[in-house]
Every structure is written in C-alpha cells, then in structure tokens.
Structure 1
Amino acid sequence: MAQAPTAGSEFDRDTAVTSRAPGVYEADLSPGWSILKALNGGYVLATAGRALGLALPHPDPFTVSAHFLTPSAPGPAVIRTETVRTGRTVSTGQAALTQFAEDGSEVERVRVLATYGDLGALTDEVRTNAKPPAMPPPEECFGSSDGPTDVFGDSTLLGRLDVRMDPATSGWAIGKPTGTGELRGWFGLADGRDPDPLSLLLAVDALPPAAFDLGVSGWTPTVELTVHVRARPASGPLRVAIATRNLAGGFLEEDAEVWDSADRLVAQSRQLARAPRAKDLA
C-alpha cells in the first residue's frame, strides 16, 4: 500500500488523486506551485508519482523518469497509469498526465516511467564516498524574503516552501554569480510537513536553477528529469546541492543530491533543461 497522506498537509492536498476507473486518476493541480510561467515540474511529478503509488503493488518510488512535453497549468488533470511489470521486490509502471486545452482537445503534459519498491525492506549496508554538503545552519542562510523581490517574478511556489540558500552560493541574487554553476540550500515545506519519498520528487527540483549561478536567469523549463530515491528520509529539514557542468546549445544538465537530517543521501537526480532565452526574460 502507498503511504497515507499526512493529515492537513498542503502538499498532500494539492497532490491528491481520485480514482475514476482502474488505473485512471483525476487530480486538480493547484496554482500555489507555480514558478514564473508554469507549475513546478517537481510538484507535477509528485502528483503523477502519487497515482503510480496507488496503481502499483509497491509503496515507494525507487527510480522515476519523466519527460515534460508541455507546460502544466493549474486546473483539472487526468493521470492514466499502466502496470508494465510486477515482481517480488519491485514493480514498474508508466503514467501519462494530461489536461484539456482551451479548444477542448486533450494535451499530454508529462510522460513518466517508474519503478517502485519498498524502501523499508532495503538492507542497512552503505558503502559510499559521498558526503553531505557543508552549509551554515538554516538561521544563517537566506530565505526568499531576504533577496530582491523581482528575482523569481510571480512565483507562488515560494509560499509553499521553506528554502534557505547557502550565502556562499547566493551571489547570483544580487548580480554576483560565482560562475561555478553550484547552489546549496536547506529545503522544507512551509507548513512543517516532514519529508517522505514522494516529497523528494519535489525537493530535487525546488531550488533555483543552477544556471543562475552562471549568470543566466529566467525561466528554465525541464525537458527530462530522472530521480533516484535511495532511502526514506528522517524527520527534519533536507539539504539540497545542485550543480551544472555544461551549458551548451541552449540546454544544460543539472545534478542534485538530497541529504536528510541523519546525514544520509536520500535522493539523487539529473535533469536536462532548456537554458533561459532572451524573450523569456521580458
């Protein structure tokens, strides 16, 4: 069974899905998760991920790959799921999230292929040379209200999150990017909801784009995003580090690591995104 939503959580209410037929779910995408021109990709992915968690026999996302075909908008959506394979330890399924255009035609927004399992059944063995990002405590980091008000434009997403950026990677907000393409920050939900595997699909895509630290700002739409969920996160805020090494041809990759309060690497991701274009900055 999928994990039950947390009572009273805005994230759970806004990613809720209702079964309409076997494998078919309805959702009402909330305008509260918008970033510049469209809904945040991590929020949309989490909504599709919730439907897959109900459709598949295993509770937790292990790996989720999403292709973002068209920008999602607030309002009704339909998620059609298909079980590709079920096994003893993992199951694989796909989902297509669609909405209706103004002319009444159905438009596919996101196509997802995912493998689910039970994170609670994994062994405790860890062999890694990965280390959590070194950051000041949250009270010494910058929240969205500490920077210029026009950095993100009309982005309701900021009110849903408690993100505090490491000052060492925040120079881009005042026109002084480091040029290294790295950002670090603390991540939590504004209503205090503890993280779980589903919310990690949001966490990997919740910080400002790494391109900002290259001196390139504006709408940076995701083309493809793959998330690996490695463990159920412990209670408390998460630390997120993102980086890009190659902006070329109008596209960039962005790698993310998410660490929990127990210093465990609980999620990793890579996405391909379109770099902002001059017309996107107008």
Structure 2
Amino acid sequence: MGGSFITHPEVIQGISELLEIPVMFQGRYEDDKLVAAVPTWGNYIAGSKGALKKLGKRGLIDVGNPEVILPMSPNIRIVLPYKSDFISYEHQPQIINLKNKGKALCLAKGFHAEGFSKKFKYNHRREIRLFQDEGGEFRSVNSVSADQLCELYLDLFEKRWGFSAKGATLMHKLLEKLYNFLTGTILYIADEPIAIQLVYQVETMKHFSVEYVNGGVNPSYKNYSPGSILSFSNIQQAQALADSKSKPLRYSFGLADNDYKLRWCNKVPVFLT
C-alpha cells in the first residue's frame, strides 16, 4: 500500500506509464522477511524531482512536492542506495544517510485539540455559512469526469494566476490515471464552478497521506474567500475520513515557501539522500 501518496504502487505505476519511465520495486529482506520496499527509477526513488530532471521529464506533470514515506519495518536501520528529495522526518531513525538541507514541508494542523484554534474554526465555518446563504454549493470532484475536471481546473487556474498550469499538456491523462485518488470538492454558484483544488489522497498501513498540489479560483468571486473555504472544507473532510479509520492524517501543502501556508500548517523538516 506504499508509505505515502507518491510511493503508493498504483500511483507511481500510473505516473511511470504516463511518462514512459520503467519502474522497479526493490525489496530489502531480513531472515526471508520483507522489511522495506522502494519504487525506483534507475538510481532514484521513483517520483523524485531529481529523477524527473535527470530523465528530461521535468515540468511534464504536476504532483506538487510530495512527502516521501517508504513502507519500512520500524526497527530497520539501512543506508538507502537511491537518491531522493523530500524524504519524511519519519525515516530519520531508519535511514542512516539522510541529509538535512534546511528544507521543510507544511502539514495541516488539523481538527484535533492541538490543531486549529476555536477562533480559526469559527471564522471559517462562518465563511462557509455566508457562502451557502448566497446559493453556494459544494460538489465532490468525483461528480465530474476526469476530462471535465481537467478542463475546469485548467480554466480556473489560468483565471487565478494569469498563466497556464504546470503539466497542462498531459493533465487530462494524469487525471485519468490518478482519478481514483482525487479527493475534495468543487465550489459552485448558480451552477457555475468558481473554485477547485487539486488534491490527492491515499490510505496507507499507518496513516492517510494527502497532497494538495495547487488550485484555481475565478477572481470575480474572491469576496467569498473561495480558496480559504476549500482549504478548510477539504482538510475537514480528510480529517473525518482518517478519524473514521483511526489513522493519523498527513495533509501536505507542499514546500514551506509561502507565509499563508503557516496559517494552516506546521512546518516539518524533510531530507534528501
């Protein structure tokens, strides 16, 4: 089942097929028992940004800067003979050759006692009520097809940022490959889609791994704070699902490269090999 979104076998298999990169699944055995598994592209952990650059595939797809967690026995101690970036601090006691280059990811604070404050939750629930009072609706991303979702996302992304989304050319194929891992909602007013976030989720043996890649918003509706509403709603939905399975939630906003993320997240270190 993999250890995180990017190392999930079905996710990395789909990405590898799309980019035409051969993927191998390497295993570490001790006493004939599998204690670690690693998907690889040559000398790299599959899915790593370094590998995409090395293989001339950089920029062809956008899956954000996903946290790399490998399925490993908790007591294992190894030197990882493959290159990667954004390796989770969860592996710090397990992988001996991790290097700290000062990079960090942002993981959502969540809805437990140590997470979002009461004031924070009140303010965002109020935003949602005001949005719904004006006829705003929430619809699942899975309420539309992969092709429709692609068209919607690319349109709203360009309206928000003024340029095309990264990986736009292969976006429809990527969404087809990973459609079953998409999660979250689309905001509508009078049947017009006004905001979306591209969010992927996988369930692993230990937790729920969620990657928020990017989003699109129609600026004409910015007075409703649609980006804020979506972030709150999507995290709340993921938290409820994780809690129902009694598993921790790891909801990543990607690299700690923007101050707005700190309203939603805690910074956590990531490592490379």
The structure with the greater share of residues assigned to helix is: 2
User: Which structure exhibits the higher relative contact order, with contacts defined as CA atoms closer than 8 Å and separated by 6 or more residues?
Assistant: 2
Q: Same fold (TM over 0.5)?
A: no
Taking structure 1 as the reference length, the TM-score comes to: 0.35
The structure with the greater share of residues assigned to strand is: 1
